[in-house]
């Protein structure tokens, strides 16, 4: 049954919140785990619907998956079979494309239908396919399915026209078993890529240059099992930091890596948020000073994350003057602005920028989470708004946030769910 999230705004928040394992790491670590010939145990797995979809896909491939304790996933690929991936779970989940690289690397053949996920404008996978072709794969597209074949993958030098996170990870997974050396130039540098490469190296891969724009992979013959703990989710951390900036009396965000959040923390300081940054936490205190406007431009890591742009826009509605948000990665990522305007914001979107005029008083109303991070932005806005905000299509939010309701309730928010017809 479909649910809505309801938030009664205006309540000051206090206390501490612990950040879960990274969603963007998890959705790639799970497909990467099947590259080995032995079981892999992953710790710190967040409770999000994307994990449920991925474990369903693993089971369809004959992989044994077991949740052990609260946040531990045991993945045993010893009886795995390479089957066509054409189920509904594939179309629901964009990250299912990581099975292309994993299956191509392990079996030399992959058949998968076009993956789904949030619509954020054109998100072509041509960079992934170009990388697979450079490694020697033959690619066909038939009846809505990609069919990839490579009797033997061979290392090559691959230049990515855009430093895509998905393409970097996918090509890296395929290249792990390729003969010789693969070099990915203009590789993405996100912390999640380092996390995936760390898992693969623990399994016996030879990957160097993680965190730089030149990733080197020396092919190996096989991989074994290992245990691995996921890094904290920097986007969830940023979301709660923004929630604290919006409504905290005093709030601590724990289990974070501050280095992963530098661009966001610097922007918050710029607008006038009072914070203390520790080795693995940020503490934010209420300020009565008026917030200053700013300019944000999304960039690949270590720049300002596109995933944080939407929740940050909610804060900008309370700044004195005009802020400008320019989106360079997903130019369609402005659907939240129409929803925020319904609540009383004054945002003028002229793609690729949004002009946020503030401060404006936000009032609770019925809004739609058009995608995952739009949902996060509406939660931030709902906490600030007068009255009750009703958020529809909350399945988008559940794809990426572990126990959102419970974490916010523990901080003093009034948030609940109701079924809708």
**Tokens encoding 272:** 């006038």
Residue 256, annotated as binding a ligand: no
Residue ranges with strand state E in 245-365:
248-254, 274-277, 281-285, 295-297, 321-326, 346-350, 353-358
* Burial class of residue 154 in the structure, from the number of CB atoms within 10 Å of its CB (0-12 exposed, 13-18 middle, 19+ buried): middle
Residue 126, annotated as binding a ligand: yes
118, 226, 319, 337: the catalytic one is 118
Name the CA dihedral angle for 372, 111, 65, 39, rounded to a multiple of 10 degrees. -120
The β-bridge partners of 248 are 13
Residue 106, annotated as binding a ligand: no
Segment holding 53, helix H or strand E? helix 49-60
Residue 94, annotated as binding a ligand: yes
> Who contacts 109 (Cβ-Cβ below 8 Å, separation ≥6)?
82, 103, 148, 149, 150
CB of 109 within 8 A of CB of 38?
no
Cα(236)–Cα(403) distance, integer angstroms: 11
| Cβ atoms within 10 Å of 126's Cβ, excluding its own | 10
Cα(87)–Cα(76) distance, integer angstroms: 21
Query: Which candidate, 29, 22, 23, 329, places its Cα nearest to that of 172?
Result: 29
- C-alpha dihedral sign at 258, 259, 260, 265: positive
**Tokens encoding 223:** 């991989």
Q: What is the DSSP string of 284-318?
A: EE---SPBPP-EEEB-STTSB-HHHHHHHHHHHTT
CB of 10 within 8 A of CB of 385?
yes
Residue 124, annotated as binding a ligand: yes
Active site residue 374: no
Residue 14, annotated as binding a ligand: no
Cα(408)–Cα(240) distance, integer angstroms: 9
How far CA 316 is from CA of 8, 47, 246, in Å, comes to 20, 30, 10
Residue 299, annotated as binding a ligand: no
Residue 24, annotated as binding a ligand: yes
| Catalytic residue set | 118
Known binding-site positions for UDP-N-acetyl-alpha-D-glucosamine: 94, 123-127, 307, 329
Known binding-site positions: 23-24, 94, 123-127, 307, 329
Known binding-site positions for phosphoenolpyruvate: 23-24
């Amino acid at each position: 049954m479909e649910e809505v999230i309801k938030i009664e705004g205006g309540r000051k928040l206090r206390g501490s919140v612990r950040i879960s394992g990274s969603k963007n790491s998890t959705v790639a670590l799970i497909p990467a785990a099947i590259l080995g010939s032995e079981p892999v145990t992953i710790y710190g797995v967040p409770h999000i619907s994307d994990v449920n979809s991925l474990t369903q896909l693993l089971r369809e491939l004959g992989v044994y998956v077991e949740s052990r304790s609260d946040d531990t996933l045991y993945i045993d690929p010893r009886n795995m079979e390479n089957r066509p991936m054409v189920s509904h779970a594939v179309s629901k989940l964009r990250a299912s494309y990581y099975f292309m690289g994993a299956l191509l690397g392990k079996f030399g053949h992959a058949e998968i239908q076009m993956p789904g996920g949030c619509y954020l404008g054109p998100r072509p996978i041509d960079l992934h396919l170009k990388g697979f072709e450079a490694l020697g794969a033959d690619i066909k597209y038939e009846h809505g399915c990609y069919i990839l074949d490579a009797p033997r993958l061979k290392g090559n030098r691959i230049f990515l026209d855009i430093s895509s996170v998905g393409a970097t990870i996918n090509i890296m997974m395929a290249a792990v078993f390729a003969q010789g050396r693969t070099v990915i130039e203009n590789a993405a540098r996100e912390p999640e890529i380092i996390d995936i490469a760390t898992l693969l190296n623990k399994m016996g891969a030879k990957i160097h240059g993680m965190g730089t724009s030149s990733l080197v992979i020396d092919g190996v013959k096989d991989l074994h099992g290992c245990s691995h703990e996921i890094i904290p989710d920097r986007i969830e951390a940023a979301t709660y930091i923004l929630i604290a900036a919006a409504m905290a009396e005093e709030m601590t965000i724990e289990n974070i890596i501050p280095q992963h959040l530098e661009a966001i923390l610097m922007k918050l300081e710029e607008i006038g948020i009072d914070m203390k940054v520790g080795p693995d936490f940020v503490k934010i205190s209420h300020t009565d000073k008026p917030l200053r406007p700013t300019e944000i431009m999304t960039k690949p890591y270590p720049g300002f994350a596109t995933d944080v742009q939407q929740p940050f826009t909610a804060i900008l509605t309370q700044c004195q003057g005009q802020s400008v948000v320019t989106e360079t990665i997903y130019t369609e990522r402005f659907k939240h602005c129409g929803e925020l305007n319904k609540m009383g914001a004054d945002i003028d979107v002229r793609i690729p920028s949004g002009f946020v005029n503030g401060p404006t008083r936000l009032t609770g109303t019925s809004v739609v989470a058009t995608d995952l991070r739009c949902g996060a932005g509406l939660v931030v806005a709902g906490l600030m708004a007068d009255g009750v905000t009703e958020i529809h299509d909350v399945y988008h939010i559940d794809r990426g946030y572990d126990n959102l309701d419970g974490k916010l309730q523990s901080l003093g928010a009034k948030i609940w769910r109701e079924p809708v017809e």
